[in-house]
Amino acid sequence: MEHQHHQHNMTETAAYENGHYGMDHQHMGHGGHNHNAMIADFRKRFYVVLILTVPILLLSHMIQQWLQVQISFSGSQYLLFLLSTVVFVYGGWPFLTGWFSEMKAKNPDMMTLIGFAITVAYGYSAATVFGLNGMDFFWELTTLILIMLLGHWIEMRSVAGASRELELLVQLMPSTAHLIKDDGTTDVKTETLKESDLILIKPGEKIAADGLVEEGDSYLNESMLTGESKPVQKTRGQKVIAGSVNGNGSLKVRVTHSGKDSYLFKVVDLVRSAQEAKSNTQLLADKAARWLTIIALLAGIATFVTWISLGHDIAFAMERMVTVIVICCPHALGLAVPLVVAKSTSLSAQHGLLIKNRTAFENSRRITSVVFDKTGTLTKGKFEVSRIVTIGEQPSNEDELIRLAGALEANSKHPIATGIISEVKKRNLALPHVEDFKAITGKGVAGVAEGKHVKIVSPGYLKENNLQLPPDYSATGNETVVFVLINDQPAGFVALADAIRPESADAIATLHDNNIKSILLTGDNKQVAESVSTQLKMDGFFAEVLPHEKLEKIKELQQKNEFVAMTGDGVNDAPALAQADIGIAVGSGSDIAAETAGIVLVNSNPKDIVNLILFGKATYRKMIQNLAWATGYNIITIPLAAGILYNQGILLSPAIGAVLMTVSTVVVAINAGLLKVQS
The CATH code of the domain that includes 594 is 3.40.50.1000
Instruction: Among 23-37, 118-132, 475-489, 632-646, name the one with the lowest average pLDDT.
Output: 23-37
**Cα–Cα dist 492/479, whole Å:** 15
State whether 651 and 578 are in the same domain. Answer: no
State whether 145 and 16 are in the same domain. Answer: yes
Instruction: Among 79-88, 511-520, 644-653, name the one with the lowest average pLDDT.
Output: 644-653
Roughly what angle, to the nearest 10 degrees, separates helices 415-426 and 398-409? 130
**Structural domain that includes position 508:** 353-378+502-602
Domain of 490, CATH number, reads: 3.40.1110.10
State whether 109 and 253 are in the same domain. Answer: no
In the predicted model, is pLDDT for residue 563 greater than 90?
Answer: yes
State mean pLDDT over 650-664.
Answer: 78
State whether 138 and 278 are in the same domain. Answer: yes
In the predicted model, is pLDDT for residue 187 greater than 80?
Answer: yes
Model-wide pTM > 0.95:
no
Give pLDDT tens digits for 26-53.
333 334 456 678 888 889 999 999 999 8
Q: Over pLDDT 70: what percentage of the chain?
A: 84
In the predicted model, is pLDDT for residue 86 greater than 90?
Answer: yes
Domain of 207, CATH number, reads: 2.70.150.10
- pLDDT at 303 (0 to 100): 92
**Cα–Cα dist 321/299, whole Å:** 8
The secondary structure of residue 261, as a DSSP letter, is G
Between 18 and 89, the more confident residue is 89
Confidence of residue 6 (pLDDT cuts 50, 70, 90): very low
Q: Are strands 232-234 and 353-355 parallel, antiparallel or unpaired?
A: unpaired
- pLDDT at 450 (0 to 100): 85
Find the catalytic residue in 24, 136, 373, 524. 373
Helix segments in 60-135, DSSP class H: 61-67, 76-86, 92-104, 110-129
Widest Cα–Cα separation across the chain: 123
Structural domain tally of the chain?
Answer: 4
Whether omega before 395 lies within 30 degrees of 0, making that bond cis, reads yes
In the predicted model, is pLDDT for residue 2 greater than 50?
Answer: no
Confidence of residue 583 (pLDDT cuts 50, 70, 90): confident
State whether 156 and 301 are in the same domain. Answer: yes
Does the active-site annotation cover 573?
A: no
Query: In sequence order, which residues have a C-beta less than 8 Å from that of residue 633 and are 6 or more positions away?
Result: 332, 660, 664
Residue 678 lies in a domain: no
State whether 625 and 597 are in the same domain. Answer: no
- Work out the end-to-end distance of the chain between its first and last CA atoms, rounded to an integer number of angstroms: 38
Q: Helix, strand or coil for residue 384?
A: strand
Count of other CB atoms within 10 angstroms of residue 234: 25
**Cα–Cα dist 517/371, whole Å:** 8
Give pLDDT tens digits for 429-486.
888 888 888 877 667 888 888 888 888 888 778 888 877 777 666 666 667 788 888 8
**Cα–Cα dist 353/676, whole Å:** 13
- pLDDT at 639 (0 to 100): 87
Residue 199 lies in a domain: yes
Q: Over pLDDT 90: what percentage of the chain?
A: 12
Q: From 443, 452, 469, select the one nearest 400 (Cα to Cα).
A: 452
- pLDDT at 595 (0 to 100): 57
Confidence of residue 90 (pLDDT cuts 50, 70, 90): very high
Strand partners, 434: 449
Query: In sequence order, which residues have a C-beta less than 8 Å from that of residue 74 and are 6 or more positions away?
Result: none
State whether 329 and 370 are in the same domain. Answer: no
- pLDDT at 30 (0 to 100): 38
Between 309 and 271, the more confident residue is 309
State whether 255 and 279 are in the same domain. Answer: no
Instruction: Among 55-59, 273-277, 412-416, 492-496, name the one with the lowest average pLDDT.
Output: 273-277
State whether 138 and 27 are in the same domain. Answer: yes
Residue 238 Cα to chain centre, angstroms: 27
Average pLDDT, the chain: 79
Q: Helix, strand or coil for residue 380?
A: strand
State whether 84 and 39 are in the same domain. Answer: yes
Q: Which of 602, 630, 662 is the last residue of a domain?
A: 602
In the predicted model, is pLDDT for residue 20 greater than 50?
Answer: no
For residue 264, give the H/E element and its range: helix 263-276
Q: Which of 206, 235, 261 is the last residue of a domain?
A: 261
Give pLDDT tens digits for 142-179.
887 887 788 778 767 766 665 665 666 677 778 888 99
CA 170, 171, 176, 180 torsion: positive or negative?
A: negative
**Cα–Cα dist 450/404, whole Å:** 9
Q: In what order do the strands lie in the sheet with 198-201?
A: 184-189, 176-181, 198-201, 251-255, 211-216, 239-240
State whether 451 and 554 are in the same domain. Answer: no
State whether 399 and 448 are in the same domain. Answer: yes
Identify whether the C-beta of residue 248 lies closer than 8 Å to the C-beta of residue 219.
yes
Helix segments in 328-484, DSSP class H: 331-350, 358-363, 398-409, 415-426, 459-464
- pLDDT at 275 (0 to 100): 64
Highest mean pLDDT among 308-322, 411-425, 550-564: 550-564
Residue 226 lies in a domain: yes
Q: From 260, 274, 269, select the one nearest 20 (Cα to Cα).
A: 274
Q: From 401, 444, 380, select the one nearest 605 (Cα to Cα).
A: 380
Q: Which of 470, 500, 530 is the last residue of a domain?
A: 500
In the predicted model, is pLDDT for residue 570 greater than 70?
Answer: no
CA 412, 413, 419, 422 torsion: positive or negative?
A: positive
Q: Tell me what percent of the chain is helix, strand and coil, each rounded to the nearest 5.
A: 50, 20, 30
